[in-house]
Amino acid sequence: MQERTRRIWMTVVGVLVCGFSVGMFNFSMLGLDPFQVFAHGVFMALPEGKPGFGTIYAIVNLLMLIVIFLTDKSKIGLGTVINIFLLGYVAEYSSLLFENLIPEPSLAVRFVFLILGIVIMCFASALYFTADMGVSTYDAISLIISEKRNGSFSFAGFPRICSVRL
């Protein structure tokens, strides 16, 4: 039981820190990872009065979870659920925190946030992946496509990094 508790904590901390780094990427305005670009596009396409990014992120992930559930349940784990309901909110609120602390960042400050975000994301990913509690929905979709088509994971994922803002 102690090992499972440790792995759950690694997953939670990994997702929290990952969300924080996504907030840093967003604040830098120098690019987001491919899935965040997709989720942001959905968020921006909705009319005024829409829920916050964290809620939209969870809804998009839940819709993807349905597809995963119907095609390959083995990819779903507790980490998948934690990611769905935590990462978007942490990204949304950490981005707002940075915007309130530094309302008009210079390019140099934005660049520092991008570099720090990358380093922090590496640490967060290591925690999340090492815990091995299930993959995120966007990774599961790419894994399922690459396994079903005997193709490369890199060609099954979303388009490469684009610059957008939450």
The pLDDT value given to residue 34: 86
Residue 162 confidence class, pLDDT cut points 50, 70, 90: very low
The yes-or-no verdict on residue 1 having pLDDT over 80 is no
Spatial neighbors of 77 by CB under 8 A, at least 6 apart, are 133, 134, 135
The yes-or-no verdict on residue 156 having pLDDT over 80 is no
The pLDDT value given to residue 163: 39
Q: pLDDT, tens digit, for every residue of 29-71?
A: 998 988 899 998 999 999 988 899 999 999 999 999 999 999 8
**% the chain with pLDDT above 90:** 67
